[in-house]
């Protein structure tokens, strides 16, 4: 069994996408953890969707997206 270290992200932290092959990867600010609650068979079930981030693109336009935690890394 693989021992995967869990990484947690908090609002205000600076992160970036892990994929090294991409050019011009921006630093992004963590906004919030995104989850969705559903009622199934009379019971509330909460599903984690990802981490919402914001950043400015090369044209200075504010962008926002939700990423999986496995695709993000902290920026020191």
**pLDDT tens-place string over residues 6-35:** 678 999 999 999 987 777 899 999 999 999
Contacts of 47 (CB under 8 A, 6+ apart): 35, 36, 37, 38
Burial class (CB in 10 A: 0-12, 13-18, 19+), 43: exposed
Count other Cβ atoms within 10 Å, centred on residue 14. Answer: 13
pTM of the model: 0.80
Instruction: Classify 69 as helix, strand or coil.
Output: helix
pLDDT per residue over 27-69, tens digit each? 999 999 999 999 988 899 999 999 999 999 999 999 999 999 9
């Amino acid at each position: 069994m693989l021992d995967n270290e869990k990484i947690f992200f908090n609002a205000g932290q600076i992160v970036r996408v892990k994929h090294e092959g991409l050019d011009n990867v921006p630093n992004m600010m963590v906004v919030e953890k995104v989850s969705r609650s559903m009622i199934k068979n009379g019971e509330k079930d909460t599903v984690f969707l990802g981490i919402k981030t914001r950043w400015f693109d090369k044209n200075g336009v504010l962008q926002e997206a939700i990423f999986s935690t496995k695709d993000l890394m902290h920026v020191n």
